Amino acid sequence: MASDLDFSPPEVPEPTFLENLLRYGLFLGAIFQLICVLAILVPVPKSHEAEAEPSEPRSGEVMRKPKAAAPSANKRPKKETKKKR
C-alpha cells in the first residue's frame, strides 16, 4: 500500500513564448499603474520662478475674457408662487 503513493512533482509544461510575454506585460502594466497612482498621491514642489509672477501671461497663451456663468441645462428656475390672501 505504501508503494502505491506517488510523491513525485506533477509534470507541468514549460510556458510558451506568448505566455511569458503576457506575464511580463502584466507585470509592467502593474508597475506603470503604481507609478501613476504614486504621481497623483505624492505632491511635487513648485519652482520659485512659477510662483514669483503668476499674473504675467505666458507668450503662447491667449488672453480670454472670463465668461459669465451660464445656467446649467438640468437646473430649472424656481417657480414663483402667489401668496394667498
pLDDT, one tens digit for every residue, the chain (85 residues): 556 788 888 898 999 999 999 999 999 999 999 999 999 999 888 876 655 555 555 555 566 655 655 555 666 666 677 777 6
Q: What is the pLDDT of residue 41?
A: 94
> Rounded to an integer, what distance in angstroms lies between the CA atom of residue 45 and that of residue 54?
16
Q: What is the pLDDT of residue 51?
A: 53
Q: What is the pLDDT of residue 8?
A: 85
Q: What is the pLDDT of residue 22?
A: 97
Q: Where are the strands (E) in the chain, listed by range?
A: none
Which residues are within 8 A (CB) of 68 and not within 5 positions of it... i.e. 6 or more apart?
A: none
Residue 35, SS3?
helix
The answer to whether 57 touches 63, Cβ cutoff 8 Å, is yes
Q: What is the pLDDT of residue 58?
A: 59
> Rounded to an integer, what distance in angstroms lies between the CA atom of residue 12 and that of residue 19?
14
